[in-house]
Amino acid sequence: MKRLVSSVLTLAMIISLAGCSKKSEETTKKTKDKNKSETESEETVPPESDEDETEETDETDDSTISESDESTKASQSGSAGPSAYTISPDFSIRSDLKTLDYTITENTRAYGFVASPADGIVNKIIKDVDLLTVDDQDTYSQLWNSLDGIYYSMNNDFDSMYDQLLPSYVDGSASDSFTVKSNTYVARADSEVFSFVTCQEVYDKANNSSSTVYRTYNYRSGDSMEYNLNDIVSDRAGFANFFAEYFHDALKFKAQDAREVEYLAGLISDPDENVPFLLTYDGIIFVYTEDYAFNMYKIPAVYAGDYFDMSLFGATPENYVLVSDAYDHIIWDVDDDGDLDDICAVTEKDEYDSLISLGISVNGRVEQLPKSELQYSYMGLYKFYFVKTDDGVYIYAELYPESSEAVVAVFKFDGSTFTFQSSFIGNLPNVHNGGFFYDPANFTVTNYSDIMGSGYVIDRVSAMGNDGMPKKTVNMGERNQIAATRKEITVNKFDSNGAADGTATLPENAVFNVIGIDLDSRTLLCEYLDADETKNFFFELQADPAQSDSDWSIKYNGIEQDELFMGFYYAG
């Protein structure tokens, strides 16, 4: 996979993120039978949202799974969830796919003016569109054409909106800010399936209006045939019952999520309804998009043999990532012995629902996370990932403390169990930051920062050849934040290739866009914004090093950030 972000440069070159296709061997897996139960669901109207938007609905376990030489169990530890399902005899695992290389170019236009220096208010207009294309145009010519049709018209439409409103920002008559953007997040990219989602958003603060539209796409890579649900699910009414049953116990204490599942089951049951979904290596993610939400409900294909076209699942490239299901399980072949294994998270919680212990189990053999890694209060398990790299098989367990960034515990498979390796701070990808985590060679880790206001810095990383730990592939993390100068400052310029290009003096009230931050060196990459876009240029800002771990101040040459710049806000 490749990602190119055209507006963000390193200090030496334009940021480009690349991966390569890899040749892999096919390994077909045996399966083991289980029992299955069924319930019914009814079609409903869209539920009213009564809680904040969430990315996924995975739940956690409360006890261990007993080791057995018989069939693996897909039960939520310590819950009344489904205790057994039939594993489809048609579900087989092989690693013969090729990674599909693609490019996402971030097409950004922005301008602004200082509306109130005393209040630090900058009225700004932003157009930010991800443009997606495949790299191998000869092999995937039809797919290339399909993507070109989607993004060409989208980009033109957004440019038209921007151009229509820009004059009011140039002359300073705009009464507030306006943003139109479209982000693209890829969920699967290989020689069989290309699955992704676009999120188009319009924020018109002057008119107090906003809109969000999600659209999922699932293409057969070779000929660009777009899958709909009828192509994959043979008995939609029967599968709707299965879908509702599967999530019943996982969501019994989450009323809003349960209503969303009921609503989705109603859509699934009607063969004429369009249901948003994304394809993964081991299942289908059904997406609830009403009420501006994007909530995901994954059905593992291993249980859905009675309903799914199983030829779409179980195949992977040589290196890949799988995400745990709603009961914190992944059914897969860990040791390449041809038999499916049950990997699950084993947790113990206190009366406040905070983790006391966490273990990773393989067929009942549990390896505990050291107590020292549970140092934060009110920590809970969000989800875990099965990560296959070039140097081993790993588990990433994503833990969320209260009012803090995520802690990711990394376990490595040693032939029989997953042993704890290390941990790192930062959020793994989600549909609002960095996309989906499916490729260990190219994903994101997001960290929080108050540099130029409260916000997130998205680092592009790889876990290849590094004992499962993420390492930066680009120095500069992605950030988009419009700001302005409070006083005249002199800055170091860079050209479009990242080469030094002398100095420039920014006058008072000059507006610029922070497009990248290297949190290690506290270096900022910015773009000066002119009414004539040909006069825009890139420059660097260097924040002072922190004096200690407890030093939260942000200064530039000893001057506080808020004395030099404005237009941003702090959380809290």
Do residue 232 and residue 301 come from a single domain? yes
Convert the pLDDT of each residue in 287-340 to its tens digit.
999 888 899 999 999 999 999 999 999 999 999 999 999 999 999 999 999 999
Read off the pLDDT of each residue in 251-266 and give the average, rounded to a whole number.
Answer: 92
Residue 434 pairs in a beta bridge with: 430
Residue 499 has a CB neighbour count (10 Å cut-off) of 12
Do residue 117 and residue 92 come from a single domain? no
Q: Is the dihedral of CA 251, 256, 260, 265 positive or negative?
A: positive
Do residue 403 and residue 272 come from a single domain? yes
Rg (CA), the chain: 25
Helix (H) or strand (E) holding 379: none
Convert the pLDDT of each residue in 160-214 to its tens digit.
999 999 999 999 999 999 999 999 999 999 999 999 999 999 999 999 999 999 9
Distance between CA 448 and CA 426 in Å, rounded? 8
Residue that is last in its domain, among 424, 440, 456: 440
Convert the pLDDT of each residue in 453-482 to its tens digit.
999 999 999 999 999 999 999 999 999 999
Do residue 459 and residue 494 come from a single domain? yes
Helical ranges in 349-486 per DSSP H: none
Residues 6+ apart with CB under 8 A from 280: 187, 188, 195, 298, 322, 323, 438
Burial-class residue 405 by CB neighbours within 10 Å (0-12, 13-18, 19+). middle
Do residue 278 and residue 309 come from a single domain? yes
Report whether 454 contacts 569 (CB < 8 A): yes
Do residue 27 and residue 157 come from a single domain? no
Do residue 285 and residue 405 come from a single domain? yes
Read off the pLDDT of each residue in 268-281 and give the average, rounded to a whole number.
Answer: 97
Residue-by-residue DSSP string for 129-180: EEEEEES-TTTTHHHHHHHHHHHHHHHHHHHHHHHHHHHHHHTT---S-EEE
Do residue 330 and residue 358 come from a single domain? yes
Convert the pLDDT of each residue in 347-399 to its tens digit.
998 888 889 999 999 999 999 999 888 877 678 999 999 999 999 999 999 99
Distance between CA 197 and CA 220 in Å, rounded? 15
Do residue 494 and residue 562 come from a single domain? yes
Do residue 292 and residue 343 come from a single domain? yes
Residue 460 pairs in a beta bridge with: 444
Do residue 380 and residue 459 come from a single domain? no
Burial-class residue 248 by CB neighbours within 10 Å (0-12, 13-18, 19+). middle
**Count of the separate structural domains present in the chain:** 3
Distance between CA 398 and CA 406 in Å, rounded? 7
Write down the residue that tokens 């676009």 correspond to. 198
pLDDT for 63 equals 36
Structure tokens at 500: 């030094």
pLDDT for 83 equals 52
pLDDT at 483 over 80: yes
**Backbone φ and ψ of 122, nearest 5°:** -115, 120
Residue that is last in its domain, among 401, 416, 440: 440
Range of the domain at 27: 20-99+225-440
Do residue 434 and residue 447 come from a single domain? no
Looking at residue 198, which CATH number applies to its domain? 3.30.565.40
Distance between CA 162 and CA 109 in Å, rounded? 8
Residues 6+ apart with CB under 8 A from 271: 230, 236
Distance between CA 546 and CA 522 in Å, rounded? 9
